[in-house]
Structure 1
Amino acid sequence: MATQAVLSERVGVAEDLLRRAERLSGAEGGAKLCGKLRSELKFLRRIQSAHVRGAHVHSSNLTHLSAVVQSAESLQNVVALLRVYNYTKEEKKRSLTVDVVADGGLLWVKAVGRKAEALHAVWQGRGQFGDRSVIGQAGEFLLAAEEHPLHYARPRVLFAFYNGVSVPMATELERMGVEVSGELIPTATMQGEEPEEEEEEESEAGGREQGIVGNGVHPPHSEQEQAAAAPSQRPPEELLQFYRDSDSDRDSDRDSDQDSDQDSHDSALDSDSDSDSAPRPLTLLDRSLSCPRPLPAPAPPPSCALVNLDVSTLLSLVSSLTHGGCGLAFREAVLTEQAADERRAPVLPQMERFMAGKELMACAAAVTDFQEILRTLGGAKEKERAQALLRRVAVVTDQPSPRSLALTPSAAVSPRSIAIFGTGDAHHAVTMTANRKFVRAAANQGVHYSVFLHEPRALTEGKEWRATPIATPPEPTATPT
């Protein structure tokens, strides 16, 4: 009965987490998080209906996924969940999964669900083979963040501990430059013999014990699991606590489908050789003296005084649509749609506010293409506005940044876009653009540009002569009484 009670409890937890995660679906990766929770729920229901014995009850990702959901709900301006970043460590390409990307991309969060006692034991070198210390993982987060600046600043790294962290570990993380939140638990030097370690039987390097193999479930691997296979030898309450404790937090980096088995193996070997895994003086945690550390407040985004204008922005800044010519229905459906959008939400005020007080630049490729489009489609007033605009803009030679030149060309990643965005990147400028397709495609290749996105506006003055004015609704008249 105890086993079924634990399973029922876990199914309820997984169902609640899934409902909460579905409300986060607006962020990138929300569907991925929901998919992992559905997989976890399916696994739990399958073993629930199979009447398996206690040793088979393992849901190794549930604690970690719960921590991810809690972080996403608690932080501000969450833009991505379970986002994968590539980075280089010891001249090898690696990938790392950031549980929550918040503050508009300026805060990377690793959500940790394992108990503080288990984390501290691993840090002291008393973990099982393959267990990874969070100190080693923090170093990887810092390396990856250094390679993925946003607005030309390294994202802050936060480790959020939902079952506590020892004060010495928190101190070491903060010394490295990692922010810490959660319950901080002081330690005391052990007297006499070393106590038994907390029953954290699952190794972080072991994959998931991912649930199902063929038509069954994984057999027990460790001595603790084998002991649990005979529930009659354990008191029911002890067995219940055993399964509560067994829900250990996996290294979320290996949750990514993009990580190869070899990369995971290399990472595990690297972590075994980290200096933080060396044996340390044994200490005990004293939760009676713990104190909470809240989540940090959002930091103001770094300012950027230089703005790079791409072709779509140059066109929008001089278009007749943004200068009073939006009250028309054009023969071209796309122009009619842009005119309607402009009536609802004018883009020029937004763009002017962003550019105010900043230096403007554009690369030669953008200016050449802009002038060619202007000669072909521009009207007299649009050309006049273009001349005035270009007098405010510093034109620089095309000089894409190295990471831009490393992009693989595709339908969305054209050489022109690489030149334009890459030159802005090389000058540490924010690129103003309506080219969302390129921004997404570059991000999918691991290059996240500093951009200000706006809606596109085409040149329309030359087509106004055959457009139809939009009838202005009459003013409501008072009804005589």
Structure 2
Amino acid sequence: MASNSMLKDRIRVAQELLERVDKLCSRQPCEVEGRAKLCSKLRAELRFLQKVEAGKVVIKESHLQSTNLTHLKAIVESAESLEDVVSVLHVFAYEGPHGQKQTLVVDVVANSGHTWVKAIGRKAEALHNIWQGRGQYGDKSVVHQAEDFLEASRQQPVQYSNPHIIFAFYNGVSSPMADRLREMGISVKGDIVAVNSVRGTEDEDREEESDEDEDEDGQCVEEQEGEDEGGEKNDDDEDEDDEDEDDSAIMHTRVDRDTIVASLSFPTEVKVDVCNRANLDITTLITYVSSLSHGRCHFAFKEVVLTEQAAQERQEKVLPKLEAFMQGKELFACHSAVQDFRIILDTLGGPGEKARAEELLARLRIVPDQPSERTKRLVTSSKVNRRSLMIFGTGDSLRAVTMTANSGFVRAAANQGVRYSVFIHQPRALTEGKEWRATPV
């Protein structure tokens, strides 16, 4: 039977982790993608533990030490230690060495996408033995996983730089393994520990494996925790099945109850090659010169969308964000963007907006349309039109970050496997010519 004190401790930890995830998200500048997935896993763990407490499930004490809670706690602590966390449990798709489709789960994506973290809670001895080929059948070594991370990161550049990868070991890592990972270009966080008794660790691993196979009802503990109260699999887990199977040796291995004693020390800022080129699309050109962006936002317009944009501007000014991103960068705009911008400006722009447009265009380097090769492979649709292909494709060829409010195109292109380096902002329309019939607020 499971120890009552250990059970209560596990329940307390699960409840605290749920609260910490909420606090974590409130500290970040934007919504953390995958938060709901992480909370879902924690709630599934908590429901299972509460079933044990209520006597609905009978398990051995060793099974309490083999749940996903250690790995989930490592993810939360990793996220708490990093700046600008954008997602947790993020699934990246990439192409394997033989062209096959692969998926990879990154526990924490931070520093605006420039940092990927894998949190590892398994014992250093077990990890070392797997690396040396002495693990259980199907175990995937951390070094093998590092190769997958490196390949995926090469195919997922952020502002034309590959993400920096950190492997965070919450129960230590052997010195030879840490050295090998560093040679590969992986940053290693965690205590370096000596690996003494290979024989003892192998026996322990076999013992753990047999202990964890089934509870007294004959059902795998890990299977139970991945189900909701009705026995259904969580929807949030479906998109990471492949990676979960690959990482099951790490995620589900029993560790001591007090394994994670403190957060590891992460760099607060990772040095990356910052892209110093910006490509302005039509929506950015319009937003930059709009009267709404220059203090003329205290109106209720006849058009609902303009009234909404005015309210958004009163709440959060967009121009300072554009200026901050553009500062110190070489500014570009392609022929298609400038041509269509001038047509819109001539039709809808007021005198002030037109004057600001000339000042802005004088700052830009206007280049011919030159879409990148991967852009040419995109299939046109309602969201992927020729004009957008020219604008974003030119930015891609220039290796510039495209500034845009056109998030629809960015998502549609990503759905076709083409991810652009973008700076997305709120849109602002040309409104100066419509102020005469608007109502001041």
C-alpha deviation, 1:34, in angstroms: 0.3
CA contact (8 A) 1:122 1:132 kept: yes
**For residues 14-58 of structure 1, what are the alpha-carbon distances to aligned partners after superposition, in whole Å with 9 as ceiling and x for unaligned?**
222222223334411111100011112222333442352428936
One of 58, 66, 72 as aligned partner of 1:52: 58
Is the aligned partner of 1:460 residue 2:431? yes
C-alpha deviation, 1:415, in angstroms: 4.5
The corresponding residue for 1:21 is 21
One of 146, 155, 164 as aligned partner of 1:147: 155
Letter in 2 for 1:62: L
The corresponding residue for 1:133 is 141
Is the aligned partner of 1:170 residue 2:178? yes
Looking at structure 2, the residues matched to 70 and 382 of structure 1 have their Cα atoms a distance apart, in angstroms, of 48
Q: Secondary structure at the match of 1:376?
A: helix
**For residues 407-426 of structure 1, what are the alpha-carbon distances to aligned partners after superposition, in whole Å with 9 as ceiling and x for unaligned?**
56665554433432232122
C-alpha deviation, 1:78, in angstroms: 0.9
Shift in CA distance, 410/463, structure 1 to aligned 2, threshold 3 Å: same
Looking at structure 2, the residues matched to 19 and 454 of structure 1 have their Cα atoms a distance apart, in angstroms, of 30
One of 432, 440, 447 as aligned partner of 2:403: 432
The corresponding residue for 1:279 is none
Shift in CA distance, 260/410, structure 1 to aligned 2, threshold 3 Å: farther
Looking at structure 2, the residues matched to 101 and 378 of structure 1 have their Cα atoms a distance apart, in angstroms, of 41
Shift in CA distance, 443/109, structure 1 to aligned 2, threshold 3 Å: farther
Looking at structure 1, the residues matched to 386 and 407 of structure 2 have their Cα atoms a distance apart, in angstroms, of 16
Shift in CA distance, 388/415, structure 1 to aligned 2, threshold 3 Å: same
Is the aligned partner of 1:85 residue 2:92? yes
Q: Secondary structure at the match of 2:108?
A: strand
One of 142, 153, 167 as aligned partner of 1:159: 167
Is the aligned partner of 1:199 residue 2:204? yes
Looking at structure 2, the residues matched to 121 and 362 of structure 1 have their Cα atoms a distance apart, in angstroms, of 55
Shift in CA distance, 397/4, structure 1 to aligned 2, threshold 3 Å: same
CA contact (8 A) 2:318 2:426 kept: yes
C-alpha deviation, 1:92, in angstroms: 1.1
C-alpha deviation, 1:390, in angstroms: 2.7
Q: Which moved more, 1:139-148 or 1:195-204?
A: 195-204
Q: Secondary structure at the match of 1:125?
A: coil
Shift in CA distance, 333/385, structure 1 to aligned 2, threshold 3 Å: same
C-alpha deviation, 1:152, in angstroms: 1.0
Mapping 1:15-414, distance limit 5 Å: 15-25=15-25, 26-48=31-53, 49-54=55-60, 57=63, 59-90=66-97, 91-187=99-195, 194-195=199-200, 197=202, 199-201=204-206, 217-218=218-219, 257-259=238-240, 294-405=265-376, 412-414=383-385
Letter in 2 for 1:385: R
Looking at structure 1, the residues matched to 35 and 302 of structure 2 have their Cα atoms a distance apart, in angstroms, of 40
CA contact (8 A) 2:114 2:163 kept: yes
**For residues 368-401 of structure 1, what are the alpha-carbon distances to aligned partners after superposition, in whole Å with 9 as ceiling and x for unaligned?**
3322322321224433433343333233333333
C-alpha deviation, 1:403, in angstroms: 4.5
Q: Secondary structure at the match of 2:24?
A: coil
C-alpha deviation, 1:6, in angstroms: 4.1
C-alpha deviation, 1:128, in angstroms: 0.4
Q: Secondary structure at the match of 1:128?
A: coil
The corresponding residue for 2:229 is none
C-alpha deviation, 1:88, in angstroms: 1.4
CA contact (8 A) 1:148 1:447 kept: no
CA root-mean-square deviation: 3.5
TM-score normalised by structure 1 residue count: 0.74
The corresponding residue for 1:224 is none
TM-score normalised by structure 2 residue count: 0.80
Shift in CA distance, 407/161, structure 1 to aligned 2, threshold 3 Å: farther
Shift in CA distance, 432/51, structure 1 to aligned 2, threshold 3 Å: closer
Looking at structure 2, the residues matched to 53 and 305 of structure 1 have their Cα atoms a distance apart, in angstroms, of 58
Mark the structure with the bigger radius of gyration: 1
Shift in CA distance, 54/98, structure 1 to aligned 2, threshold 3 Å: same
Looking at structure 2, the residues matched to 260 and 363 of structure 1 have their Cα atoms a distance apart, in angstroms, of 42
Shift in CA distance, 53/186, structure 1 to aligned 2, threshold 3 Å: closer
Percent identity of paired positions between Structure 1 and Structure 2: 52
The number of residue pairs the alignment matches comes to 405
C-alpha deviation, 1:343, in angstroms: 4.2
**For residues 408-458 of structure 1, what are the alpha-carbon distances to aligned partners after superposition, in whole Å with 9 as ceiling and x for unaligned?**
666555443343223212211111122334445555666543333333221
Letter in 1 for 2:60: G
Q: Which moved more, 1:171-180 or 1:312-321?
A: 312-321
CA contact (8 A) 2:174 2:195 kept: yes
Letter in 1 for 2:24: L
The corresponding residue for 1:241 is none
C-alpha deviation, 1:297, in angstroms: 3.6
Letter in 2 for 1:460: T
Q: Which moved more, 1:371-380 or 1:64-73?
A: 371-380
C-alpha deviation, 1:351, in angstroms: 2.3
Q: Secondary structure at the match of 1:294?
A: coil
Shift in CA distance, 344/37, structure 1 to aligned 2, threshold 3 Å: closer
